[in-house]
Amino acid sequence: MKTRSPHGPIVVGYDGSDESRDALALAKQLARASDSWLLLAWIEPVGPFDLPYEAIVQPIQDRAEDALDEVARSLHAQGYEVGTRVGLLGSVAQGIHELAEAASAELIVIGSSHRGRVGRVLAGTVGTRLLHGSPCPVAIAPRGLADKRTSKLTRIGVGYDGSPESQLALSWAEDLARSAGAGLRLFVVSDDHSTDLVDIGREKRCRADQVLADGLDRVTEAGTSGVVKSGSPAERLTHHSQHVDLFVVGSRGYGPLRRVLLGSVSAHLTRHSKCPVVVTPRAAVEHHQAVSPAGTVFA
């Protein structure tokens, strides 16, 4: 029998809904790529009851455990290592967050809102809350991913602007690309289209070229490429999300360290991307201790 990976798990928010099936489909793909194990988290929101607590909660917990056990058996048969947890809390996001911290998770995976378009990412209430304080990277699966035939990751995109947060995103993506045997492509966006001053536009483009060169110098993985695009960073990255299998971006540049914090670009991607999106936590690159998909610790 395959031994469990020594690295932290990929925590999957799962409750049997179509959205959670999408999350599981993405988590399986990432677990295969990174040789990680899956921890299925069924968090049932419960509140105060007029009836005795046990009379209400025990049947809910039993049904959730039975459903998770059935899914886990299927995943075991497919070669995945799986754990399960059932939580009865007032907040689904709180339950997933606390479990991720307790399990030293390397990644949280959730599905998109049922209100989103098929094939697009749209962070719902749980996703939005996790994207404001998660202790590890958060991945969001597009709606309908479970009904789509998924293959191994072959193209991973990274939004790069030279900031410490984008450097962390690049390091995380590079480790995943290496373990998955995938190509890595950096996207740098220059907003030089917004000015009528030619010299300023050229200066911005030159700066963007330097940022791209810096990013490529940081990567040792063969087959890495990059491109500079002009326009709104949020809109350009979202447009190019259709050309990769996974898009990785960093958090905004302020707030608590080692926590996911949405900025304007990452927020836009989590509402409109055409492929799965991963947002990595904020951290100072020279001091961070975030665990990569392959399980190594960044120095």
Cβ within 8 Å of residue 113, ≥6 positions away: 19, 122, 123, 124, 125, 127, 143
Question: Each residue of 68-108: pLDDT tens digit?
Answer: 999 999 999 999 999 999 988 778 999 999 999 999 999 99
Query: Regarding beta strands 246-249 and 155-159, do their DSSP bridges make them parallel or antiparallel, or are they unpaired?
Result: parallel
Query: Are 266 and 279 in contact, with CB atoms under 8 Å apart?
Result: yes
Neighbours of 225 (CB within 10 A): 11
Query: Are 140 and 107 in contact, with CB atoms under 8 Å apart?
Result: no
Q: Kind and range of the H or E element at 28?
A: helix 18-34
What predicted TM-score, i.e. pTM, was given to this entire model? 0.86
Cβ within 8 Å of residue 1, ≥6 positions away: none
Identify any residues that bridge with 155 across adjacent strands, giving them in sequence order. Answer: 183
Question: Each residue of 115-125: pLDDT tens digit?
Answer: 888 989 999 99
pLDDT confidence tier of residue 189, bands split at 50, 70 and 90 = very high
Q: Is the pLDDT of residue 29 over 60?
A: yes
Residue 50 has a pLDDT of: 54
Q: For residues 6 and 221, which has the higher predicted lDDT (pLDDT)?
A: 221
Residue 223 has a pLDDT of: 82
Instruction: Annotate 268-279 with DSSP letters as a single string.
Output: HHHHH-SS-EEE
The tokens for 52 are 């005795």
Residue 295 has a pLDDT of: 32
Go through the domains of the chain in sequence order and give each one's CATH number.
10-147 (3.40.50.620), 155-279 (3.40.50.620)
**pLDDT, averaged across the chain:** 85
Q: Is the pLDDT of residue 26 over 90?
A: yes
Residue 55 has a pLDDT of: 66
Question: Each residue of 218-276: pLDDT tens digit?
Answer: 999 888 999 999 889 999 999 999 999 999 999 876 655 567 767 888 999 999 999 99
Q: Is the pLDDT of residue 201 over 60?
A: yes
The tokens for 162 are 């030279």
Q: Where are the alpha helices (DSSP H) in 219-293?
A: 233-240, 264-272
Residue 251 has a pLDDT of: 86
